[in-house]
Structures are given as structure tokens and as C-alpha cells.
Amino acid sequence: MSAQYKLVRCNINGRDVEKMVDVRASLTDMLRNEYHLTSTKKGCEVGECGACTVLIDGETFNSCIYLAIWAEGKHIVTLEGLMGPDGQLSDIQQAFMDEAAIQCGFCTPGFLLTAAEILDMDRLFSDDELRKLLSGHLCRCTGYENIFRAVKKTMYRRQGLDPEL
């Protein structure tokens, strides 16, 4: 039995693209194999660990359980798309560096994209709300507190408040 292919047109990190993809391929596979966007990690491949998190039309999704063909007409952002046009880090990426919220780095792209979605909501969340919003990721290096602190400080800065916790 031969694979079926379908043309998928979408926008990835601000660039309009089109590619023939196997109808069975995940968005993770398309991003990694066709576009070499390796910040999208392959972790559990069942939507549990968050390593493959991407933004689709501004909302986080586990790309390992999202078919590539569903990306038709969508705007997708990977970690590579968070950087500025000259390669400068976004405020949340810098906060991860400042707070030592990066250890092995495997979970970092997913956490950063979830943090971007949270911060784009443009509101102040309580600690409990923030922890719940960040809960869809597994960090094997136990960096949760530093990650939480980086997101909270960035949230406070964006609200014009004192980020010192």
C-alpha cells in the first residue's frame, strides 16, 4: 500500500510555505524533516510531555498528535520564530537565561512557547494559575522553579510592575 500525499500551505515563523506531505505525518515530523526546525522536539509522541509544543494561530498545541495536513492555512510558530529579525532573543528567552531556567534544554522550547502564549494573554495571573498554565510540560532536570520565576518576572515586566519576587 502506498502513502497518500497532500499539498499543505501554511505560514511557519512568518514565512509562507507549501509542501507535499504524507497524510499520516505529524506536524512534528513535517517541521523537523521538511523545514529542519529542530527546536520542535520528539519526546513521548503521545501528547504528554510538551517537548513538541508549537503555537498554531497563537494557541499552543502538541505537534506530535497534530497531523501535518491540519496545518493547512494556519500560522505556526516554533522556537526559531520567537527571535527578533536580527536574531535577538525575545524578553521571555532572555528571562530564561537570566533565571538559569535552562538545564539540558530538551523541554525549553516547549516551555518557551507556552510562556509566549501565556504572556500574549496580557494579564496578571496568580502563582497557582501560572503553575497550572505551565503544567503541560515534563522537565527531567527539575528546573520548574526557575522556569516559573522567569515567566512570572516577564509577566510582571510586561504589566509595568516591579518584577522582583
Domains of the chain: residue spans and CATH: 5-81 (3.10.20.30), 91-158 (1.10.150.120)
- Specify the pLDDT at position 1: 56
CA–CA–CA angle 154, 119, 141 (5° rounding): 65
Which three three-digit cell numbers place residue 43? 519526546
Which three three-digit cell numbers place residue 107? 523541554
Percent of the chain scoring above 90 in pLDDT: 88
CA–CA–CA angle 147, 103, 13 (5° rounding): 70
Percent of the chain scoring above 70 in pLDDT: 98
Query: What average pLDDT does this structure show over 142-153?
Result: 92
Which residues share a beta bridge with 61? 54
- Laid out side by side, the sheet with 15-22 consists of 15-22, 5-12, 75-77, 53-56, 59-62
Confidence of residue 56 (pLDDT cuts 50, 70, 90): very high
- Specify the pLDDT at position 141: 86
Query: What average pLDDT does this structure show over 7-18?
Result: 98
**pTM for this model (two decimals):** 0.93
Give the rounded distance of the alpha carbon of 31 from its chain centre. 12
- Specify the pLDDT at position 165: 62
**Collapsed DSSP state (helix, strand, coil) of residue 22:** strand
Closest Cα to residue 89, out of 17, 28, 150?
A: 150
Q: Give me the chain's average pLDDT, please.
A: 94
